[in-house]
Structure 1
């Protein structure tokens, strides 16, 4: 048998525990308890455990393993995006001591940038002082010293590590005014003003006297590891916490194969341009929040000049590569297009004059700084977007905005021409197409146009309208309408409509807008979503393929999608739904909300919707998920007639002051074309039709 005991207690909590194992034969009732072979087998197993512990030390923390795995995979998959020195720097991380690795990851994932060394206490880090020395010597950390020259922003960050009492103490030492009730930010502002004015040369020494050693991750390390994170996750939302959520079982991602045949970024310059564009996008977001109008305009200038200088990067409209289209969201030009669109909204609404010495100039165009909304500037930028991005589903939205802005400045003929040209654009779809049709119909009257557009009859199609009366709780403009329900409780117009349909027709249902449909689509099309298509799954943390909102999704899987839709058409949707639910319950998937919709509700809805209708709806979503994944009717209703046969109805609910959007109108007409029973329920305080 085997005997073992602890030789000594380890000095540190996470150190290996030394044990001694003794293997010996035993005699029981005159017989050997185990033969030599069994004893040898047990001993070999014990040795294997010891060897495994050597190769994988038990004190390696999970977050440390995850960080090292991230770096390894990025260097393996994208070595061409780093210089020789950058790769050497990243590779050196795994050569650091265990304490140094853990301390760096801890600091990297915390909100800083500065930290007091005296406050860093983690049970898994045995010697933080020694780790700081190693990290500083290898360029991973920066230390704050009295001789360090700091910029104003850096000084502000450093002052933030002081307590309120310490800030007051420094102000008193400097004989500056300090009110007892001052908040921390006000105290920091007072000290910062002294530092900016150059009248406080001893401030750094005073800070050091109180904080002792302060540390932060080095700019080089931050930049490189931020890049590695973005390359690993391919978005700005996920970070190392994604590993933790999976490790804890909180989030589970779908099972799929990553078949990578092409790189997202072909070279380092493309990646650096993309990173620069992201920085500009972050600056304009912050500037809009802070009402820094001059900086907003500066960001618009930069974005405009960048997309103007790289036309070769944009997609050729004559023969578009559909795979290039879904990869384009990782280009600098795509990010700059988002910046410009923010700028357009700002210019269309901004009425505050800017105090500047001279107007901003870009591309030979003088930016209007008057107090009126700057529609001419917005028009200039919208034309730029339409000229540069010829294969983009956002073209419909841009074209509508351009046509509207042209009308605002008194150019109805040009507005009409833009709307007519937009209707010939294959990338103008859904609600945007309907909005342009309605604009053309309104503007194209004699003498501008004598011929009635061919689509005029389709716009006149009637959508069934139902009027119900509600007892209003409030009728204030700008606020969502509230009513008293049939039970006397307060409710919105959607809940009031649900009560009406339950009473009048025995309908059951949910108020979900697009939510329940996205869940049904995700469950019915699960196998299609995770099918083996090259380059669309690139990380282990995706909830959908990268091309899901592009034309590439349907065309690359058409041979799989159409047979699957035929099964739905033939009445197998409920069976597919149940199987998908049972196999994938709780797994994160784009559009699928496991908590909001129960399986019983989903089954009832699917069983009451005829197969041809459901197949047609799923086909539209597969062909253009980006255009059709929003704006669906508020209510999905169903009722059974016996023998498990039923019917479904979709209802868009509108309050007393609400109107249908073009996207909602487009959905209702599409649903009617697919064979659905769809209508609009208008809630009024009079109960009469207008």
Structure 2
């Protein structure tokens, strides 16, 4: 039985910690105390409608398609919003102590809430929960030596396990000074816990592969990426004597400590990097005498290392083999590499919160990684992808050498990518039911290889190898299984190459230069048309493709009656509106008002006087909302909260319909694939049918039905804020044109994670004119972000009015 089966949300009541309520997380009133801010700072995204001759800009835009919000795992993103800070954890642990002094096992703690301070920890329980769940359901992914490591782990003392988990959660392979570890409230004998982790344990022989053993390909993958197959013997942690490099030893010192050490060695430097370089130069110029070895000259590096270790005392580092193994366990459990300390604690704290959750079928199948070989290749591909990301994102502008490396890596994985494409296509045709494979494919090595091939387009564009770039773009668009959210950008880039470059890189076949250019412009026109017809081309790319079509038809002199007419989606610029109010400035301690420079206020929220209510202080959005209310508008300052609530109401049944593997715990607020580009294609038929219903005016009926069925229990469903009044939601549904509401919902269904932020601040509606409007409020310190511009394009393209409300101070009052 899986440990997940012990997570019964109806277990007997015990004392529980206080958690943040849904209203605390996002209140749809005129206040902005807890309004969400996700996605508001994507300032590198290019505005729609602009040509992108440099594919690197395209790549920056596309990275948001896969980036998890705040580095959350998909499992963590599906859990309800709760407090997970240190105070919450300590309060929880103290509330779960056993009064009779007994020590329950992990099952007992998860099922009955039993706890014993100093003998169990939420960190250790969460770590063991992940391990036991994986071994219960997916033990076939691990070899016999690895299973022995797990058995030895269970035999470790609690304090040794606690120390290991806390070091493991730091997600680094760094050395740590034992005397600076802390954890004394949970570890009474630190030296014994350290010694337990350093004990050597034997492993069974692997002369012949067992049923769970690695294949030759799997073993080669591990070795090629620095992961050695466990064999012979192992230990959980390394000891101080394993430190043999100056870099490793110096990492144990703070900068000031290293400076003091360097001063004694008569070298200088301002940073650790400079000091290390100086120490290394000094070690090459001098030699020291080691009198314990018959006065043999030794390199001063060893001398420096020993001096540092004499100063730091005993040190510890998690051994590479078991650490990599446990990382693989968490990869399997979370279906992600983005797990953190918060991921481990949230999954237990969410369960203890004891909220109501929507009804759905929990399904955690072992078929996501069908074999150990596939898991190892997936992990290997992720490490390769991580290397490429480091080259592009953490080393400044990529050099020619780095771009060549990225190109070579892309070519290395290309043959394997093609082979896996054929395999996945056969699965789609013969094994998977319609749409079922969309989420499972995210765990195929081909998913990662597709992204690596996409990354390989960057150097080709920089090196002006447009013909090869065009060939790869055609292959990427020729498959429909991986990264569908990128298809719109691939169409854009392909059309750009066809319009500007391919005429000179392909055979003329007897055409003149002018006719050759026209020929490729017609092909570019066809590419844009195909993109608009592609159901997987997301709506946010349609405007750019439509603009290019209009441009190409003008260049080709297409007769008026044969031109495309996009008048129904032509974007109108948001109306500029100015609202005057009284701004409040605080007087600083020196008695001077903080109004001397605009830069002193940049990035800080401004404070205004709410003249229309009680002359209290308020945010600029509330001040502007009051002005609109005086003009007979109703409204909320929700920054997308009302849009997310409407989406959850209208798609409630589709969100929680059965799809294999997307509901893996009983306390999720959404399917795991909602924040991915697999959500829409997996449910394309149901979503498109619902969009038609909304277009035909069924929104009010759907909202009333969901409210009647679920409002009494108020289950935690993502985005759904039950504090919105039903009457307001019904009025909004009546005022919102069906086509416009369907367009907004389609964007949310296609890109929920990326488009959850950037929605204008104010949502307004008028019953007398059956009209809805969005207003983005800006004070003098603010400017539009790229995600906000994208939403303005989407809304105006759907025929929804949008205003840019500029708050201007008619008076500035200085208060103490």
Give TM-score scaled by structure 1 length.
Answer: 0.70
1:102-501 correspondence to structure 2 within 5 Å: 102-110=162-170, 112=172, 113-121=174-182, 122-136=184-198, 137-138=200-201, 139-146=234-241, 148-150=243-245, 155-164=246-255, 166-173=257-264, 175-178=265-268, 182-184=270-272, 186-191=274-279, 200-245=301-346, 247-248=348-349, 254=357, 256-261=360-365, 263-287=367-391, 288-291=393-396, 292-293=398-399, 294-295=401-402, 297-314=404-421, 315-316=424-425, 319=429, 321-341=434-454, 344=457, 379=470, 381-389=472-480, 392-409=484-501, 413=521, 414-445=523-554, 447=556, 449-450=558-559, 452-453=561-562, 455-459=564-568, 466=575, 468=577, 498=625, 501=628
Q: Residues 75 and 484 of structure 1: is their aligned pair in 2 closer, same or farther, counting only changes over 3 Å?
A: closer
CA contact (8 A) 2:645 2:719 kept: yes
How far, CA to CA, are the matches of 2:189 and 2:789 in structure 1?
A: 62
Q: Residues 265 and 400 of structure 1: is their aligned pair in 2 closer, same or farther, counting only changes over 3 Å?
A: same
Deviations 1:358-410 (A, max 9, x none): xxxxxxxxx5766xx87667545534432444562421221113223444547
Residue aligned with 2:637, SS: strand
How far, CA to CA, are the matches of 2:486 and 2:669 in structure 1?
A: 23
CA contact (8 A) 2:410 2:455 kept: no
How far, CA to CA, are the matches of 1:165 and 1:465 in structure 2?
A: 55
How far, CA to CA, are the matches of 1:265 and 1:531 in structure 2?
A: 23
CA contact (8 A) 1:551 1:623 kept: no
Instruction: Report the Cα offset of residue 74 of structure 1.
Output: 0.6
How far, CA to CA, are the matches of 2:442 and 2:487 in structure 1?
A: 15
Q: Residues 165 and 445 of structure 1: is their aligned pair in 2 closer, same or farther, counting only changes over 3 Å?
A: closer
| Aligned residue among 604, 607, 610 for 2:734 | 610
Specify every segment of 5 or more residues in structure 2 that has no aligned partner in the other structure, as ranges.
1-98, 109-114, 202-233, 286-298, 504-519, 584-596, 808-816
Q: Does 1:650 align with 2:780?
A: no
CA contact (8 A) 1:260 1:538 kept: yes
Match of 1:81 in 2: 141
**Greater Cα offset, 68-77 or 261-270:** 261-270
Instruction: Report the Cα offset of residue 225 of structure 1.
Output: 0.8
Specify every segment of 5 or more residues in structure 1 that has no aligned partner in the other structure, as ranges.
1-47, 348-366, 673-677, 686-690
1:550-629 correspondence to structure 2 within 5 Å: 550-553=680-683, 555=685, 569=699, 571=701, 573=703, 576-577=706-707, 580=710, 583-584=713-714, 587=716, 589-592=717-720, 599-600=723-724, 604-610=728-734, 617=741, 621=745, 625-627=749-751
Match of 1:359 in 2: none
How far, CA to CA, are the matches of 1:434 and 1:562 in structure 2?
A: 21
| Aligned residue among 635, 657, 671 for 1:508 | 635
Match of 2:656 in 1: 530
CA contact (8 A) 2:624 2:777 kept: no
Residue aligned with 2:436, SS: helix
Instruction: Report the Cα offset of residue 149 of structure 1.
Output: 4.3
How far, CA to CA, are the matches of 1:164 and 1:623 in structure 2?
A: 49
CA contact (8 A) 1:570 1:612 kept: no
How far, CA to CA, are the matches of 1:560 and 1:471 in structure 2?
A: 42
Q: Residues 140 and 577 of structure 1: is their aligned pair in 2 closer, same or farther, counting only changes over 3 Å?
A: farther
Residue aligned with 2:368, SS: coil
Residue aligned with 1:599, SS: coil
Note the aligned Cα RMSD (angstroms). Answer: 5.0
How far, CA to CA, are the matches of 1:260 and 1:566 in structure 2?
A: 37
Larger radius of gyration: 1
How far, CA to CA, are the matches of 1:418 and 1:177 in structure 2?
A: 63
CA contact (8 A) 1:515 1:591 kept: yes
Deviations 1:201-224 (A, max 9, x none): 323222221123211111111111
How far, CA to CA, are the matches of 2:189 and 2:501 in structure 1?
A: 68
Deviations 1:543-578 (A, max 9, x none): 421343222235479999999999964546257348
How far, CA to CA, are the matches of 2:101 and 2:608 in structure 1?
A: 70
Q: Residues 377 and 196 of structure 1: is their aligned pair in 2 closer, same or farther, counting only changes over 3 Å?
A: farther
Match of 1:3 in 2: none
Instruction: Report the Cα offset of residue 590 of structure 1.
Output: 4.0
Give TM-score scaled by structure 2 length.
Answer: 0.60
| Aligned residue among 756, 764, 769 for 1:637 | 764
CA contact (8 A) 1:494 1:511 kept: no
How far, CA to CA, are the matches of 1:144 and 1:236 in structure 2?
A: 28
CA contact (8 A) 1:283 1:299 kept: no
How far, CA to CA, are the matches of 1:577 and 1:535 in structure 2?
A: 27
CA contact (8 A) 1:466 1:681 kept: yes
Residue aligned with 1:200, SS: helix
Instruction: Report the Cα offset of residue 325 of structure 1.
Output: 1.7
Deviations 1:76-120 (A, max 9, x none): 121122122112212321112222222211221236521122333
How far, CA to CA, are the matches of 2:158 and 2:249 in structure 1?
A: 28
Q: Tell me the number of residue pairs that the alignment of Structure 1 and Structure 2 aligns.
A: 590
How far, CA to CA, are the matches of 1:523 and 1:126 in structure 2?
A: 52
Q: Does 1:96 align with 2:156?
A: yes
Q: Does 1:67 align with 2:157?
A: no
Q: Residues 231 and 457 of structure 1: is their aligned pair in 2 closer, same or farther, counting only changes over 3 Å?
A: closer
**Greater Cα offset, 311-320 or 396-405:** 311-320
Tell me which of the two structures has the higher relative contact order, counting C-alpha pairs closer than 8 angstroms and 6 or more residues apart: 2
Q: Does 1:681 align with 2:803?
A: yes
